[in-house]
Copies of this chain bind each other. A is one copy, B any other.
Amino acid sequence: MTVSIKDVARQAGVSIASVSRVISGKPGVGSATEARIRKIMEDLNYRPNLGARGLVKQQTGNIAIIVPRGSFTLNNPFFSTVIDGIAKGIDQSDYNIVMSFSSAQQKKLLENKSVDGIILFSPRSEEFRLEWLENLGLPTVVIGSYIDDSPFPCVRPSDTDGIDQAVHALYERGHRHIGLVNEPMSSMHSVKCWEGYHQALQRLHLGPGSNDMLELNEFDVNASDRSVAAFFRSRPTMTGIVCASDYLAIGIMRIAATMGLSIPEDLSVIGADDVPIASLLTPALSSVQVDLPGIGQEATRMLIDLLTGKHVDSKNLVFPMTYIDRETTRNTEH
């Protein structure tokens, strides 16, 4: 059914070697025969079988995007925005993107020699052990915060500094009791955010404040209404909240509304990452901006450099974050 290099060769009355040569643009074919072969390929509508080629060249032409299960949900705008950047980066190349959605399938995908490289969204320790990843022997670049001494190049926002900025912004607006809503600490991202929060409190002499971080049990805020409500209720003097992501902040805004808290009158809220919808919400979400598509694009470039043996310049690319003041923050008298 499917037309192969053999069919072309037979039709053209040449050996498959010659056909293969014109396909891969290698020299050593008379221009007359080349023309003939080209014509036959056209007539027969020949298309190379990438699988077969991959078998001999030991490469697949595929890149895996691995998003931790659970935070998955392409709907999480953090991922979709970064992936838009990846799309842009990959357009220039000949690679395709392969994705799996369950953790078991992701593992299989990476083990089965069906990809040449990996773009890994900040993995959580429970899901992918570092040793296991290294054992794969695949070029890998990590997006987002990850183990500090990991062997993989990494592209990420300056989370620590970003959260620090957010706390400072609140401080400047008169807030003195500032909380942090964070994802489970099993994610390195959460640790970085915690560090930024802690560092800011210290610099501002606001005390340790470790009591004022809410560590969610799930990665999805919307599964945590009760603990969020309890957190707010038990801290009546708290006037400002910094969230580890916009996604979190949006959930917080929703929960606050159901509790009868109005933002920013009763509570100032700041997100992180500044995803596109942040500015569309009402009140528009104050956030810490970072070039999310840029991160995706740079990570892709790095991986492709790795794949093509080019020298990869910097092992750690940190994108700056800058506070954006919108409508969820307001001055308060303390």
- Residue numbers of A with Cβ under 8 A of B are 1-2, 45, 47-52, 54-55, 58, 60-62, 72-75, 77, 79-81, 83-84, 87-88, 90-91, 94, 96-102, 105, 108-109, 111-114, 135, 137, 250, 254, 276-277, 280-283
Q: Which residues from chain B contact A99 at a C-beta distance below 8 Å?
A: 96-99
The copy count of this chain in the complex is 2
Cα of A283 to Cα of B83 in the assembled complex, Å: 29
Contacts A72-B87, A96-B99 given; 7 further ones with Cβ under 8 A? A49-B113, A50-B113, A74-B80, A75-B80, A90-B101, A96-B114, A99-B99
Q: Which residues from chain B contact A88 at a C-beta distance below 8 Å?
A: 101
User: Quick check: B112 and A48 within 8 Å, CB to CB?
Assistant: yes
Cα of A73 to Cα of B81 in the assembled complex, Å: 8
For A64, the closest partner residue in chain B by CB is: B96
User: Quick check: A112 and B47 within 8 Å, CB to CB?
Assistant: yes
Instruction: Kindly identify which residue among B48, B73, B77, B81 contacts A84, using a CB–CB cutoff of 8 Å.
Output: B73
User: Quick check: A51 and B54 within 8 Å, CB to CB?
Assistant: yes
Q: Which residues from chain B contact A90 at a C-beta distance below 8 Å?
A: 101
User: Quick check: B112 and A49 within 8 Å, CB to CB?
Assistant: yes
Cα of A100 to Cα of B90 in the assembled complex, Å: 8
User: Quick check: A94 and B105 within 8 Å, CB to CB?
Assistant: yes
User: Quick check: B113 and A102 within 8 Å, CB to CB?
Assistant: no
Identify 20 residue pairs between A and B in the complex whose beta-carbon atoms are under 8 Å apart, listed by A's number. A45-B135, A49-B55, A49-B112, A49-B113, A50-B113, A51-B51, A51-B113, A51-B114, A74-B83, A75-B80, A87-B101, A91-B101, A96-B105, A97-B100, A97-B101, A98-B98, A98-B99, A99-B99, A277-B280, A281-B282
Cα of A81 to Cα of B75 in the assembled complex, Å: 6
CB distance from A2 to the nearest CB of B (A): 7
CB distance from A245 to the nearest CB of B (A): 15
Q: Which residues from chain B contact A111 at a C-beta distance below 8 Å?
A: 47
Q: Which residues from chain B contact A84 at a C-beta distance below 8 Å?
A: 73-75
Instruction: Kindly identify which residue among B80, B108, B280 contacts A80, using a CB–CB cutoff of 8 Å.
Output: B80
Contacts A83-B74, A113-B51; is A98 near B96 (CB within 8 Å)? yes
